[in-house]
């Protein structure tokens, strides 16, 4: 039995010992890696707050494994999360406010949605002029099977009053300093869609801490910010939630402006559904291919719409040929695609991929610039050197 005094003394020795050691367990000497068991290979955009990007070479499977699924946190993750004491409240413009346990959620009918979740800021690093924020490149996106009760079933139990127009989500992430809490709201129409979930599972396992254990909202087809992690409070409001992460945060210009120029938040609207977009997963940009047989792989998604086609250009956009779409498909889920091409000779080639959806939207050559770099969806490209 260790006394409290012994524990504190040993803890201080241990902390001193830990501080004295070279940081072998954290950063490698050349700063190329940081120890994060279970997240091997992920790009560490930030360790505190925790923001991990999926390297493009991992974007080659229809379902993204949880360890390879990007993580976007605005705040500190909750320091304590206890499944037994966790509660979800539903209040506001409802007839009967509710407090639910995890066991209560488990008793409700479960529904599964395979959804491509993409951070609104994915691709921000490619915006010119540069914009502030996590400098995501291609991989703040993943596709997973989320399951849990429908939000609609919870709202029906609480009874939304006619005055209820928006549904607000608030999680347990811990806010540093005077940072506004991460609270957002979605229109009641999307909240009662049969595919909008209070997800408790991801790829058929309970949510991991990084992905919102024990429950998160899952708003399919919409930017990741709509899907609030560590959910603890749902509130039905008579209007859009008025807070930093609704305005000026997560808004997009009504009209494209001049790149680099400030945009008045009143001339912007809240971002909802994702754009049409595709990325080339492999080969990596700048790599050398030792065969003239080139095999491109990638993914394409379109939020609430379906991918109609993906085209690839092997000549920097002069001519386009259709890529082969993968068999696996589900509403809100991305499509895998492949493209095989024989290079006529050794040399340097620029490959481009562009997706078109069933609403007729095609990826643009240049994405609409906006002050936070949201919804970047310009045609992706990789330059390859063919050696053989």
Contact positions vs another protein (CB under 8 A): 2, 6, 10-11, 13-15, 17-18, 21, 23, 25-28, 30-53, 55, 125, 129-132, 134-135, 176-180
**Closest CB 38 distance from another protein, rounded Å:** 8
Query: How many angstroms separate the CA atoms of 40 and 202, rounded?
Result: 19
Query: How many angstroms separate the CA atoms of 369 and 261, rounded?
Result: 9
With beta carbons less than 8 A apart as the criterion, state whether 270 and 251 touch: yes
Question: 367 Cβ partners below 8 Å, 6+ apart?
Answer: 123, 126, 127, 375, 376, 377, 378
- Residue 377 Cα distances to 76, 81, 382, angstroms: 29, 36, 15
**Closest CB 325 distance from another protein, rounded Å:** 28
Closer to another protein by Cβ: residue 32 or 255 = 32
Closer to another protein by Cβ: residue 284 or 340 = 284
With beta carbons less than 8 A apart as the criterion, state whether 368 and 282 touch: no
**Which pair of tokens denotes residue 134?**
């996590």
**Closest CB 44 distance from another protein, rounded Å:** 5
**Helix segments in 275-371, DSSP class H:** none
Closer to another protein by Cβ: residue 37 or 360 = 37
Query: How many angstroms separate the CA atoms of 379 and 350, rounded?
Result: 12
Query: How many angstroms separate the CA atoms of 145 and 218, rounded?
Result: 11
User: What values do phi and psi take at 159, rounded to 5?
Assistant: 75, 90
**Closest CB 7 distance from another protein, rounded Å:** 8
With beta carbons less than 8 A apart as the criterion, state whether 385 and 350 touch: no
**Closest CB 118 distance from another protein, rounded Å:** 19
Q: What is the DSSP letter of 102?
A: H
**Closest CB 113 distance from another protein, rounded Å:** 28
**Closest CB 221 distance from another protein, rounded Å:** 28
Query: How many angstroms separate the CA atoms of 312 and 192, rounded?
Result: 38
Closer to another protein by Cβ: residue 297 or 372 = 372
Closer to another protein by Cβ: residue 33 or 293 = 33
- How far apart are the two ends of the chain, measured CA to CA in Å? 68
Closer to another protein by Cβ: residue 196 or 372 = 372
- Residue 307 Cα distances to 148, 165, 319, 329, 336, angstroms: 26, 31, 20, 10, 10
**Closest CB 210 distance from another protein, rounded Å:** 11
Closer to another protein by Cβ: residue 44 or 188 = 44
Closer to another protein by Cβ: residue 105 or 382 = 382
């Amino acid at each position: 039995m260790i006394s409290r005094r012994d524990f504190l003394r040993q803890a201080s020795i241990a902390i001193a010992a830990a501080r004295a050691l070279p940081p072998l367990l954290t950063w490698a000497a050349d700063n190329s890696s940081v120890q994060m068991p279970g997240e091997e290979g992920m790009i560490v955009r930030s360790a505190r707050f925790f923001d991990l990007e999926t390297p493009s070479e991992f974007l080659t499977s229809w379902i993204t494994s949880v360890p390879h699924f990007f993580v976007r946190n605005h705040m500190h993750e909750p320091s304590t999360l206890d499944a037994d004491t966790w509660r979800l409240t539903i209040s506001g413009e409802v007839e009967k406010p509710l407090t639910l346990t995890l066991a209560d959620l488990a008793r409700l009918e479960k529904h599964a949605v395979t959804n491509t979740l993409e951070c609104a800021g994915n691709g921000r690093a490619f915006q010119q002029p540069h914009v502030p924020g996590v400098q995501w490149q291609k991989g703040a996106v993943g596709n997973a099977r989320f399951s849990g009760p429908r939000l609609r079933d919870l709202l029906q139990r609480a009874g939304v009053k006619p005055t209820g127009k928006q549904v607000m989500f608030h999680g347990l992430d811990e806010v540093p300093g005077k940072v506004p809490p991460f609270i957002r709201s979605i229109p009641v129409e999307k909240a009662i869609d049969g595919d909008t979930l209070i997800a408790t599972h991801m790829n058929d396992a309970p949510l991991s801490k990084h992905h919102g254990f024990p429950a998160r909202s899952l708003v399919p087809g919409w930017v990741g910010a709509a899907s609030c992690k560590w959910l603890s409070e749902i509130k039905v409001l008579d209007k859009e939630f008025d807070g930093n992460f609704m305005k000026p945060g997560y808004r997009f210009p009504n009209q494209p402006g001049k790149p680099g120029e400030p945009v008045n938040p009143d001339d912007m609207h809240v971002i909802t559904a994702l754009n049409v977009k595709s990325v080339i997963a492999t080969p990596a940009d700048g790599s050398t291919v030792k065969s003239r047989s080139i095999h491109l792989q990638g993914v394409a998604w379109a939020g609430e719409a379906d991918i109609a086609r993906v085209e690839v250009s092997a000549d920097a956009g002069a001519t386009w040929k259709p890529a082969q779409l993968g068999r696996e498909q589900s509403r809100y889920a991305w499509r895998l695609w492949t493209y095989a091409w024989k290079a006529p000779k050794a040399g340097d080639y620029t490959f481009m991929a562009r997706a078109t959806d069933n609403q007729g939207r095609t990826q643009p050559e240049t994405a609409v610039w906006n002050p936070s770099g949201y919804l970047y969806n310009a045609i992706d490209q990789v330059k390859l050197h063919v050696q053989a």
